[in-house]
Amino acid sequence: MRHILSILLENEAGALSRVVGLFSARGYNIDSLTVAATEDPTLSRMTIVTHGTEEELEQITKQLNKLIEVVKVIDLNESEHIERELMLIKVRSIGKDREEMKRMADIFRGRIIDVTDKTYTIELTGTSEKLNAFIEAIDHAVILETVRTGASGVGRGERILKI
Amino acid sequence: MQITGAEIVVRCLQEEGVEFVFGYPGGAVIEIYDAIFKQNQFRHVLVRHEQAAVHAADAYSRSSEKIGVALVTSGPGATNAVTGIATAYMDSIPMVVLSGQVSTPAIGLDAFQEVDMIGITRPCVKHNFLVKNVAELASTIKKAFYLAKSGRPGPVVVDIPKDITQQLAAFDYPESVNVRSYVPVMRGHSGQIKKAISLLLGAQRPLIYVGGGAVQGNAWEEVRALVQSLGLPCTNTLMGLGAYPGNDRQCLGMLGMHGTYEANMAMHYCDVVVAVGARFDDRVISVPEQFLAQAKKVIHIDVDPSSIAKRVKVDVPIVGDVKLVLREMLEQLKHGGETLDGAALESWWRQIEAWRAPNSLFYAPSDTLIKPQYVVQKLYEVTGGNAIITSDVGQHQMWAAQYYPFDTPRRWINSGGLGTMGFGLPAAMGAQLANPYATVACVTGDASIQMNIQELSTCKQYHVPVKIINLNNRYLGMVRQWQELFYGNRYSETYMNALPDFVKLAEAYGHVGLRVEKPSDVEPALKEAFALKERLVFLDVITDQSENVFPMVQNGKGLNQMDLPPHMREIQLNPSENNRDYGNLC
């Protein structure tokens, strides 16, 4: 099953590689990973999308907590949460296809952020499924490049992850 | 007043009360060595290979309650240390390893003797630090000692660039450490402890299973109190030997791949098992499916939450320091007033005694060939069971574990988790320096001893009078055993051709060498060796080449499906016969 782990960790050199090393050494999956400093520059917030059985997730969480630099770990799946991913997608669009591509971007509430005679670059945010749906909806042959950030997540309502 | 980074390192070690630093100098640590030269508060032990420095520091920790320290230079010095670090990591041994690093401006430029020590050791340390600012050097070393010893112990590496050792800073050693992201749980949850007690008291066939955590957590008194107050059977893992007295009637001996029949059968057929600082690893319970095929409830006490429910589903997890948890358990038991079902326990003991009766450690004696088991038994007698025994890895390690019962902890020093050949001799060195008045013997084999034999030179330099008992069978015995049992006697690369003359070799290093070739000479030779209290004696014992370690649980089999020694094979063929007292169970 797919899980989204939110991790608060010390913003120190090497902390990221400890997390990534743990996943590779123990054979856990990383579907996506995003990380950046928080409003408190001593802390980083990481979101890892992974999949595995409940037992595996329990081990992953425990192993993450064991890392000295990890402050807190929560599995966002345990309660309601919001997740968003950003995608930049560059597509070839010439002639009559240009209008069609613009319409598709509008339908998915994307924004065209760069334009040339032959291409559009579209910015899209949403759940990973929505981004997948956009890719499915357009002609694969016109896709020149896709860049995705991986999901970031946050608990709904009052639920917060802080020290 | 400002002092150099190198002087700060030395001051930190002094503040920590370090007695010995095991190490090897080199370019990146030359400043630290200069600072060591100018002090006389701790001693430096110059090993002959960095791996040995780390093993010695490791065994120094294992055989005392102190923290071993190793110091190595950058590049090859650091990589040579890695096997030792991984060894300590697998067995949760507190240790601080200081490694030199190239100067900070040179890092990442493939400088001479540069290696990414932090990257290389990341998966085999509890934590590691690269010191980039001399002002943070002292607090980093303080943290390293704190992390190494607290919670689940482990090795911590501090990588120190050369320019940091040359820069100046004020020395200010912090009195305490606070790491906000690291708060090990010490006290167990009272409610969980209560649950555990009620489960244990309701058991018909209880068993206490004690691992290395009880040794590292100094919980032997509590283990003893629990086992004896309730009259429970107890089994020790390879790492837990000595945590419960090996000679006590309630001790079923070691369990696992080469454990006793009674310990393994009890582990398989118990209905409630209390794991105390043990982790159900593959060499102990084989495969979880087999282990759980017989229904049982599991109570697991461990300071590391990630050890719990890692391989085996646990009914009552208790996270905490084993000593504190057991204390609270004993306290609650005292006030609860309940006891076990006496009749059930009696019948359980009857069954255990039936399993114990045929003596699964019996071996056929010989007048002509020296049986390795016999050597260990004589070693036990000659040392009065009071020696610190280190071992290497292989058959001799198992024989030492099986035939030298330990009544107290921290006397059995071996590489259980990583299984590092070459551990024994440097470990003996470290144990002897930590315990100058103790008798220290290294039980080894002709293959293992050659992996760090250069340390005979270190032993000479520092007058370390350990006794080496080389069970010489001219084979890589454990691999040969597997080849005999599972690979059609195809002894691929396991025959040790062209062995050195160990007696002459020992003499060449300035020690005493003795060769023993007849069973009748074993005891006199051991007596002679241990009488030479001031000398290192290398006892080269020519043993029966064909001897195998039994009992044995093959990979993938259950603990109740052991390969037994020849005199017990009938039992193996007809297990229900042996379990007739327990007909409803088996």
CA angle B456, B528, B401 (to 5 degrees): 65
Q: Is the dihedral of CA B77, B82, B88, B94 positive or negative?
A: positive
Whether the CB of A31 is below 8 Å from some CB of chain B: the reply is: no
The H-assigned helical ranges of chain A are 15-25, 54-66, 97-107, 128-137
Indicate the pTM of the whole model.
0.96
Contact A55 B305 (CB under 8 A): no
Whether the CB of A64 is below 8 Å from some CB of chain B: the reply is: no
B289-332 per-position pLDDT tens digit: 999 889 999 999 999 999 999 999 999 999 999 999 999 999 99
Where do we find the tokens 């079902």? Answer: B341
Measured between CA atoms, how close is B354 to chain A, in angstroms? Answer: 38
What chain B residue is nearest to A26 in terms of C-alpha separation?
B123
Query: How confident is the model at residue B338, as a pLDDT?
Result: 82
SS3 state of residue B470: strand
Domains and CATH numbers, chain A: 2-78 (3.30.70.260), 82-152 (3.30.70.1150)
Average pLDDT in the B486-491 region?
96
Cα B260 to Cα B252: distance, rounded to the nearest angstrom? 7
Name which of B58, B46, B112 is nearest B82 in CA terms.
B58
A chain contacts of residue B131, beta-carbon cutoff 8 Å: none
Query: How confident is the model at residue B576, as a pLDDT?
Result: 52
Domains and CATH numbers, chain B: 2-170 (3.40.50.970), 190-356 (3.40.50.1220), 372-542 (3.40.50.970)
Residue-wise over B242-257: b if at least 16 C-beta within 10 A, else e? Answer: bbbbbeeebbbbbbbb
Query: How confident is the model at residue B572, as a pLDDT?
Result: 60
- Report CA B78 to chain centroid distance, whole Å: 23
Q: Is the pLDDT of residue B419 over 80?
A: yes
B355-398 per-position pLDDT tens digit: 999 999 999 999 999 999 999 999 999 999 999 999 999 999 99
Torsion angle of the four alpha carbons B431, B434, B437, B443, in this order, in degrees rounded to the nearest 10: 0
Measured between CA atoms, how close is A158 to chain B, in angstroms? Answer: 23
Contact B181 A9 (CB under 8 A): yes
Contact B182 A10 (CB under 8 A): no
According to DSSP, the residues that pair with B160 across neighbouring strands are B100
According to DSSP, the residues that pair with A153 across neighbouring strands are A83
What chain A residue is nearest to B184 in terms of C-alpha separation?
A66
What chain A residue is nearest to B178 in terms of C-alpha separation?
A68
CB A94 within 8 A of CB A118: yes
Residue of B92, B306, B319 to mutate when probing chain A, most A C-beta within 10 A: B306
Determine whether B113 is an active site residue.
yes
DSSP state of B558: -
Measured between CA atoms, how close is B19 to chain A, in angstroms? Answer: 28
Whether the CB of A145 is below 8 Å from some CB of chain B: the reply is: no
The H or E element containing residue B398 is helix B395-403
What chain A residue is nearest to B182 in terms of C-alpha separation?
A68
Q: Which residues contact B81 (CB under 8 A, 6 or more apart)?
A: B50, B51, B53, B54, B70, B72, B97, B99
Of B143, B162, B296, B323, catalytic: B162
Determine whether B112 is an active site residue.
yes
Query: How confident is the model at residue B575, as a pLDDT?
Result: 54
Measured between CA atoms, how close is B130 to chain A, in angstroms? Answer: 9
A112-147 per-position pLDDT tens digit: 999 999 999 999 999 999 999 999 999 999 999 999
Residue of A19, A66, A67 to mutate when probing chain B, most B C-beta within 10 A: A66
Strands B388-391 and B440-445: parallel
Give yes or no for a cis peptide into B551 (omega within 30° of 0): yes
B chain contacts of residue A21, beta-carbon cutoff 8 Å: 122-123
In single-letter form, the type of residue at position A145 comes to E
Name which of B518, B181, B217, B225 is nearest B368 in CA terms.
B518
Average pLDDT in the B540-553 region?
96
SS3 state of residue A148: strand
Measured between CA atoms, how close is B123 to chain A, in angstroms? Answer: 7
Burial category of B189 from C-beta neighbours within 10 Å (exposed 0-12, middle 13-18, buried 19 and up) = middle
Query: How confident is the model at residue A159, as a pLDDT?
Result: 87
Contact B305 A66 (CB under 8 A): yes
For the record, the structure tokens of A3 come out as: 């899980």
Cα A48 to Cα A67: distance, rounded to the nearest angstrom? 15
Measured between CA atoms, how close is B445 to chain A, in angstroms? Answer: 32
The H or E element containing residue B480 is helix B477-486
Query: How confident is the model at residue B567, as a pLDDT?
Result: 87
Contact A70 B123 (CB under 8 A): no
User: Which of A10, A68, A70 is closest, CB to CB, to B147?
Assistant: A68
A chain contacts of residue B139, beta-carbon cutoff 8 Å: none
Distances (CA, A) of B462 to A153, B429, B430, B476, B480: 60, 9, 11, 31, 36
Whether the CB of B133 is below 8 Å from some CB of chain A: the reply is: no
Burial category of B159 from C-beta neighbours within 10 Å (exposed 0-12, middle 13-18, buried 19 and up) = buried
Contact B122 A18 (CB under 8 A): yes
What chain A residue is nearest to B156 in terms of C-alpha separation?
A68
Cα B331 to Cα B324: distance, rounded to the nearest angstrom? 10
Query: How confident is the model at residue B532, as a pLDDT?
Result: 98
Mean pLDDT over all residues of chain B?
A: 95
Determine whether B50 is an active site residue.
yes
Contact A58 B126 (CB under 8 A): no
Determine whether B478 is an active site residue.
yes
Average pLDDT in the A44-64 region?
96
Query: Where does the pLDDT of residue B579 fall: very low under 50, low under 70, confident under 90, or very high at 90 and above?
Result: low
Contact B122 A17 (CB under 8 A): yes
For the record, the structure tokens of B458 come out as: 């270190």
Whether the CB of A116 is below 8 Å from some CB of chain B: the reply is: no
Whether the CB of A40 is below 8 Å from some CB of chain B: the reply is: no
A100-110 per-position pLDDT tens digit: 999 999 999 99
Strands B388-391 and A143-148: unpaired
